[in-house]
A and B are shown apart, each in its own frame.
Chain A
């Protein structure tokens, strides 16, 4: 048994990546999750419209934070603020009673807003001066505040990460393990063709997966799809572009399938935990939240929830689209360069070292 223990330790010591997974990752995850794991909503952004828009700020206390007011605009402006993700809550004044609109696609903010409004009404006595305390309340986009409605659009992204990153990285690294990558390098194939030939099948599989998940989500869980399928499709396309690129990048730095899976899991975990899929982005501590902005799932979440639940137009979603495209260009360029270096070994223009030349002379 002692021999086995010693052998295992020797193997683990040499496999630095596994060692890192065993020691560094749990600590890292605990720290990150500790800061990230929060459903508490401390701030609820509010947009107010109508003649009394200016006074809404003085009536609403924390956690409400009135960030936009438009006294000369009406209910449609207020709805647009919610639809375009510019506020969690909108207050429309000018009627007999103020009308509070709550964005149900921001589940935790919506629940917090309802609770805060109820508390305010309990505390403040009704009377002629209490204009803001007896509003009519409407929850938009997810009226039943169903968890599945906000989870399934995000889960579409997780499915794409799974196929895009994990399966692709395995497929490419398998070529190296079986030694067929070297065979491909000497065949009359362009690196670009090999690269595309490798990822297109996974792209199609991921697209089919996405369609299935969407169909199941809509038919079984009753998740609405209010927005434009084209906008959603474009977002999914860009997102797949990034995740497939990450898969190829992982495979290019992995020697075997085990290493590829380890690395892929390392990219999958933070995406699931920090992208806003589970914990609202606004609840994640700022010290950890910045990581979310480097994760493609963060942007896909915004696009999928925006399009499916709020029918958000592409003009309002330009930011996640631009960031996804940017991430895609960076990742795919890196992956292509790494891939190309395997398939087209560049001539190394280094001169032979003097010592080696002497050794050659001695042997001649």
Chain B
């Protein structure tokens, strides 16, 4: 097994639009790597390159051969007019799995995901969360070395999300390298490392703690949206305004200026990274 899958210095453009601009990513075995970013940040493009569905203009992709790679595209890749069992059967045959092993593993995964009773239902009739769980199971059924999941939890209810996380964590525990795109930063915090994309560019990477620690300046609370230049550095979260001060001291350091500095979390650090990248500093 190769020690680390991933990509180096990927560059992808669609016509004049640069979708990925020198993006690198490591996916160590047994770890979950999160790719976060807003709409159009380049998450799906990066994952498609990693999975081999898209060839980059330049850069290096390290991935196992197709038999040892699992991929969940943004569209879920599930046939809506096949049943749950038929979808998994198609995947198992496609990956050349022995029939008995495929049956046993499918039964186990369906059981753990709470989908056993839905095995005979058409995938198109499943709820969004059930369909995503099926898609994740299908991507992992053949025990790949690298699993690439494009927003597996988007639009999924909290209960189904925990079910999905059980599947993901178990695959990682078995030594699988997992790369998943997500828009939920609480999920990204649970991952071993995080890559933050904005406009096709890496604006932060590392563990969630590293990214938070590397956040420049400080955050302060405000009762109302500030005026002037500071308005560009303010956002509302949990009922109050937060203002980023690029030159300010971090929480617990320096002098007080208009309120106690807020101890930032990953969500704050990613927001600040995007502001800094956008020139709000």
| Chain A residues within 8 Å of B, Cβ to Cβ | 178-180, 182-183, 185-189, 345-348, 350-353, 356-357, 359-360, 363-364
Contacts and interface: CB of A to CB of B under 8 A. Distances in A.
Contacts of A189: 94
B201 interface: yes
Interface in B134-187: none
Given A359-B21, A363-B277, A188 B95 contact: yes
Interface of B: 11, 13, 18, 21-22, 48, 51-58, 65-67, 69, 71, 73-80, 91, 94-96, 201-203, 277
A149 B18 CA distance: 62
Contacts, number: 76
Prevailing SS type, chain A contact patch: loop
Most buried by B among A185, A186, A348, A353: A186
Nearest to A357: B22
A189 B95 CA distance: 8
A350 B55 CA distance: 11
27 contacts: A178-B80, A179-B75, A179-B76, A180-B75, A182-B75, A182-B77, A183-B71, A183-B73, A183-B77, A185-B52, A186-B53, A186-B69, A186-B71, A187-B66, A188-B95, A188-B96, A189-B94, A348-B56, A350-B57, A351-B58, A356-B18, A357-B22, A359-B18, A360-B21, A363-B21, A363-B202, A364-B22
Nearest to B76: A179
Contacts of B51: 186
A41 B14 CA distance: 56
A364 B201 CA distance: 9
A226 B198 CA distance: 72
B57 to A, nearest CB: 5
Contacts of A188: 65-67, 94-96
Contacts of A347: 55-56
A178 B69 contact: no
Contacts of A363: 21, 201-203, 277
A356 B22 CA distance: 9
Contacts of B52: 185-186, 345
A362 B277 CA distance: 10
A35 to B, nearest CB: 41
A357 to B, nearest CB: 8
A10 B116 CA distance: 47
Shortest 4 CB-CB contacts between residues of A and residues of B: A179-B75, A183-B77, A188-B66, A360-B22
Given A178-B75, A188-B94, A345-B52, A360 B201 contact: yes
Nearest to A345: B55
Given A187-B66, A363-B277, A350 B75 contact: no
A360 to B, nearest CB: 4
A356 B11 contact: yes
A320 B268 CA distance: 72
A39 B201 CA distance: 67
Given A345-B53, A363-B21, A363-B277, A350 B73 contact: no
Most buried by B among A179, A182, A346: A182
A67 B135 CA distance: 69
A185 B58 contact: no
A185 to B, nearest CB: 5
A187 B94 contact: yes
